[in-house]
Structure 1
Amino acid sequence: AMRDIMMIYGGLRRPILVLFLTDGRLQSDWEIEEILIKTSRFPVFWQFIGLYGEEYGVLNHLDEIDGRHTRNAAFLKMEDFDDFMDSGFYRTIFTNTAAWLEELDRKQMLS
């Protein structure tokens, strides 16, 4: 799915926010790391949201991925679907996105 998103939106020079819901049980941590490293030079932010799951693997350690040009991903684990109604959920999403946009601006990646 991440590769498909990049095929469609990767060439745009406008910022793109991808909300990626998952229950965990990821197929391949190294593939996710590879995509995050490669896409860190594009204005695409991956906000992973874990819902009702376990075994989130690399998503629990996004800050430890070396080689990224920008901090282009964040992970938020939710215990309940009702958390979507919580203002803290949206505040976290907007805080993560705002920090990333500031980084893009500093690195002159926005056209």
Structure 2
Amino acid sequence: MVQITLEKKKLTNVTAKVGIVLDITGSMQGLYKNGTVQEVVERILAVACKFDDNAALDVWVYDTHFSRLPSVTEKDFNQYVQTHILNNDAIHKFGRNNEPPVMEDVIRKYTVEQDDGMPVFIIFINDGGVVKPIKKVITASSVLPIFWQFVGIGDSDFEVLKKLDTMEGRLVDNANFIHLDDISAVSDESLYDQLLNEFPRWLEAAKEKRIIRP
């Protein structure tokens, strides 16, 4: 199914790094316990396996603090959330949300530690409010080879994220937001179509502005 979406959106020859950032604030507790977050990881791994440079999904979790976790691959995705997140006492869990620190770490990984100019596709899972300074991070990172795909799950209003497309002061539009009230009710085709909707346009704009290699 991912392959069909990639062909439709002319992404079959694209190689990128793919990462996922998972909200682990208090309001997400039920979604971790009932398996929703594990399902999200598994379905998004399918995207990573198609165009990530090493068929792996880089993973972060955050509340007021953040943790960078081991990458997940097709070999070890079973029980990933239980093993690496819920059973991991080193992770700060179920507090309040603070997005900028984890976003700065994503930027650090791909532009300082692994500065190879390859496009980066970040899927950012969130179930509600984000702090307003997130806008500064998105604006500042518009000159970098990183595209932020925010995915709202649950029934919050997502006021800040809904305005991403109209944010001014950026070199290119480097972020998109989709809302999936109940991700388990969304078909694979619809999920991948929505996830990859704006990424191709960003790739073109980023090449034009020489943010990534043509």
TM-score (norm 2): 0.48
Aligned twin of 2:128:
24
Counterparts of 1:83 and 1:14 in 2: how far apart (Å)? 33
Amino acid at match of 1:4: D
Identity of aligned residues (%): 28
More helix, by proportion: 1
The gaps in structure 2 that reach 5 residues or longer are 1-101
Question: Which aligned pairs between 1:1-111 and structure 2 lie closer than 5 A?
Answer: 1-11=102-112, 12=115, 13-26=117-130, 28-29=131-132, 31-111=133-213
Distance 1:67 1:90, change over 3 A: same
More strand, by proportion: 1
Counterparts of 1:84 and 1:7 in 2: how far apart (Å)? 33
Please say if residues 18 and 45 of structure 1, whose CA atoms lie closer than 8 Å, have aligned partners that are also in contact. Answer: yes
Which deviates more from structure 2 when the two are superposed, residues 77-86 or residues 36-45?
77-86
Counterparts of 1:21 and 1:38 in 2: how far apart (Å)? 21
Cα-to-partner distance string for 1:5-48 (whole Å, 9 max, x where unaligned):
1111134311000000000122x22x111001100000100000
Cα-to-partner distance string for 1:56-83 (whole Å, 9 max, x where unaligned):
1210101221101110000000011214
- Secondary structure in 2 aligned to 1:19? strand
Please say if residues 126 and 153 of structure 2, whose CA atoms lie closer than 8 Å, have aligned partners that are also in contact. Answer: yes
Please say if residues 121 and 148 of structure 2, whose CA atoms lie closer than 8 Å, have aligned partners that are also in contact. Answer: yes
Please say if residues 148 and 175 of structure 2, whose CA atoms lie closer than 8 Å, have aligned partners that are also in contact. Answer: yes
Alignment length (residue pairs): 109
Query: Which structure has more RCO (C-alpha within 8 Å, separation ≥ 6)?
Result: 1
TM-score (norm 1): 0.89
Please say if residues 22 and 53 of structure 1, whose CA atoms lie closer than 8 Å, have aligned partners that are also in contact. Answer: no
Please say if residues 129 and 160 of structure 2, whose CA atoms lie closer than 8 Å, have aligned partners that are also in contact. Answer: no
Counterparts of 1:32 and 1:83 in 2: how far apart (Å)? 29
